[in-house]
């Protein structure tokens, strides 16, 4: 199998992106993409030579300065000034994994031949990707319309030997760092700076990264929820297919089927139950987890469209002999999806915390706080506090960004998506879900111990055994922060069949 991914008109999806990342594939342009890029640039050069008509961002200023004409001998300076002036990012550093995704997605968007960039510019971005030359980018600065201007400006700065890049975990001067690769500065031609800065790759990279995690956490929520079901000695009748075929939401049906499959060989589940009904946090797992699955699928569809789109401005159509100024940089589809996904993922954490609360309540033959000698030992009392505080934080993070807008650029950019803010806070929510599931797993495996000699299903026993290699059974109070972190590491490192995820 080739360890190179060729950028082409073939659609990218989450599974392909996951493969590119996990297999550490290099990327290269297909002949088709090279032709598209060259044809677009040749057409633009011809247009500039033959016409005196103003074209936005090519021979005019930007934003509210769009009516200011720029002379031909200043077109390179215009584009480089654009990159410098828009590099206004601040705040926390963007994680390097997301920076690398931004580069990949920017290359994909430029490869369609509707942006007018030079082949050399795209090739330099490919070199950055393949050599792990990752620009230093900041979280704050994008309004999520006009493209992700500030973060993409920081992405573009090293192309002209300015800004900073990562040397391990240290930000260093791009000019100094790039000398060892003998990279000369790219001299941006007409339209190139605008093509690099206009686009949604900051929002999209955060969204893709969060979606990859969300698919996995959705699966793990079902697995850990199934362990909790046995730990709390629950009925399986609410997971009967008949219940869900009369309310056939796709995610609901899939969740119920998965839970029934996971618990198929469980000795605990097979025992006769004295409790007629279980609390909603157990009984309604299909309905709650399933609704989140449906949202994940909806947002995945939105982002699949976006990562295979041209999102800069203006767009160049050589075959139609047209250059059109539009608004494909506007992040509203993404902003709405990012906010929706944050709400859906937060609900996985909310119902998980409720299961933890039930497990430590001293019900169904389980000791209070799931520990021997309660009183002398606090047991699982405070991990539930931690879970509750995280759930509350998620509620605050789920305030939608997409309903906000602030006028900018002297009124020219009078409605913006705020999708960049939606993107960065979504990742915080998703990371919080990982922590909440680690806390549930800590409690569920502890409670499962009190069901011995009865065992849960074979797959879940194997899952718990792997966890126990990292987190031991709790016999007395200890520093549970360590257990929560080890649990998160365990969940991060689990490899899951892509067919279960996508």
d(CA 128, CA 11) in angstroms, rounded, equals 22
Using DSSP, state whether 288 is helix, strand or coil.
Answer: helix
Task: State how far the Cα of 3 lies from the Cα of 23, in Å rounded to an integer.
Answer: 8
Residue among 411, 431, 450 nearest 488 (CA): 431
Residue 116: CB atoms within 10 A of its CB come to 30
DSSP secondary structure letters along 58-108 = TSB-SGGGTT-B--GGGHHHHHHHHHHHH---EEEEPPHHHHHHHHHHHHH
Q: How far apart are CA 423 and CA 205, in angstroms?
A: 9
> Measuring CA to CA, which residue among 500, 485, 491, 458 is closest to residue 227?
458
State the first-to-last Cα distance of the chain, in angstroms, to the nearest integer: 22
Give the residue among 263, 285, 275, 266 at the shortest CA–CA distance from 235: 275
With H, G, I as helix, E, B as strand and everything else as coil, classify residue 51.
coil
Q: What is the H or E stretch that residue 5 is in? A: strand 4-7
SS (H, E, C) 348-408: HHHHHHHHHHHHCCCCCCCCHHHCCCECCECCCHHHHHHHHHHHHHHHHHCCCCCCCCCCE
Say how far apart CA 141 and CA 106 lie, in whole Å.
Answer: 18
Q: Of the listed 43, 56, 206, 490, which one is catalytic? A: 56
Q: Which of 214, 297, 213 is nearest to 254 (CA)?
A: 297
Token output for 372: 């021997």
Report which of 228, 226, 240, 235 is spatially closest to residue 271, judged by C-alpha positions: 235
Contacting residues for 173 by C-beta, under 8 A, at least 6 apart: 164
Q: Is 219 annotated in the active site?
A: no
Which residues are part of the catalytic machinery? 56
């Amino acid at each position: 199998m080739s360890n190179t991914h060729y950028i082409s008109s073939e659609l990218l999806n989450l599974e392909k992106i996951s493969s590119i990342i996990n297999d550490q594939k290099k990327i290269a342009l297909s002949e088709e993409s090279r032709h598209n890029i060259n044809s677009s640039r040749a057409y633009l050069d011809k247009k500039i030579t033959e016409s005196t008509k103003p074209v936005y961002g090519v021979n005019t200023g930007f934003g509210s300065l769009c009516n200011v004409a720029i002379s031909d001998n200043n077109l390179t300076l215009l584009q480089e000034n654009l990159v410098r002036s828009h590099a206004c990012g601040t705040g926390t550093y963007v994680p390097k994994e997301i920076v690398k995704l931004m580069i990949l997605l920017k290359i994909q968007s430029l490869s369609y031949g509707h942006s007018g960039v030079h082949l050399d510019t795209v090739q330099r971005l490919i070199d950055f990707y393949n050599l792990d030359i990752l620009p230093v980018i900041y979280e704050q600065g994008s309004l999520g319309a006009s493209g992700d201007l500030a973060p993409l400006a920081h992405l573009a700065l090293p192309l002209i030997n300015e800004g900073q890049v990562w040397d391990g975990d240290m930000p260093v001067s791009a000019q100094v760092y790039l000398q060892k690769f003998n990279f000369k500065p790219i001299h941006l031609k007409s339209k190139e700076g605008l093509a690099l800065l206009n686009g949604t790759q900051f929002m999209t990279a955060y969204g893709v990264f969060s979606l990859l995690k969300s698919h996995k956490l959705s699966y793990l929520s079902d697995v850990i929820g199934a362990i909790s079901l046995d730990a709390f000695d629950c009925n399986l009748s609410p997971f009967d297919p008949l219940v869900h075929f009369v309310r056939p939401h796709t995610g609901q049906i899939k969740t119920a089927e998965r839970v029934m499959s996971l618990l198929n060989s469980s000795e605990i589940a097979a025992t006769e139950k004295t409790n007629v009904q279980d609390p909603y946090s157990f009984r309604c797992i299909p309905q709650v987890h399933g609704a989140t699955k449906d949202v994940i699928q909806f947002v995945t569809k939105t982002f699949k469209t976006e990562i295979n789109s041209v999102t800069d401005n203006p767009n160049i159509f050589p075959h139609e002999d047209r250059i059109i100024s539009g608004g494909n940089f506007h992040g509203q589809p993404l902003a709405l999806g990012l906010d929706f996904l944050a709400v859906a993922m937060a609900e996985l954490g909310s119902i998980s915390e409720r299961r933890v609360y039930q497990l430590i309540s001293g019900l169904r033959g389980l000791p209070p706080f799931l520990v021997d000698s309660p009183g002398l030992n606090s047991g699982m009392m405070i991990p539930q506090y931690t879970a509750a505080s995280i759930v509350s934080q998620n509620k605050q993070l789920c305030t939608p960004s997409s309903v906000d807008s602030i006028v900018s650029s002297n009124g020219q950019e009078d409605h913006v998506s705020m999708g960049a803010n939606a993107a960065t806070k979504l990742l915080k929510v998703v990371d919080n879900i990982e922590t909440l599931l680690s806390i549930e797993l800590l409690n569920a495996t502890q409670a499962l111990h009190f069901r011995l000699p009865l065992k849960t299903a074979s797959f879940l026993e194997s899952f718990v055994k792997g966890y126990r290699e990292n987190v031991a059974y709790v016999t007395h109070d200890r520093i549970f922060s360590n257990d929560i972190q080890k649990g998160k590491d365990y969940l991060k490192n689990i490899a899951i069949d892509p067919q279960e995820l996508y």
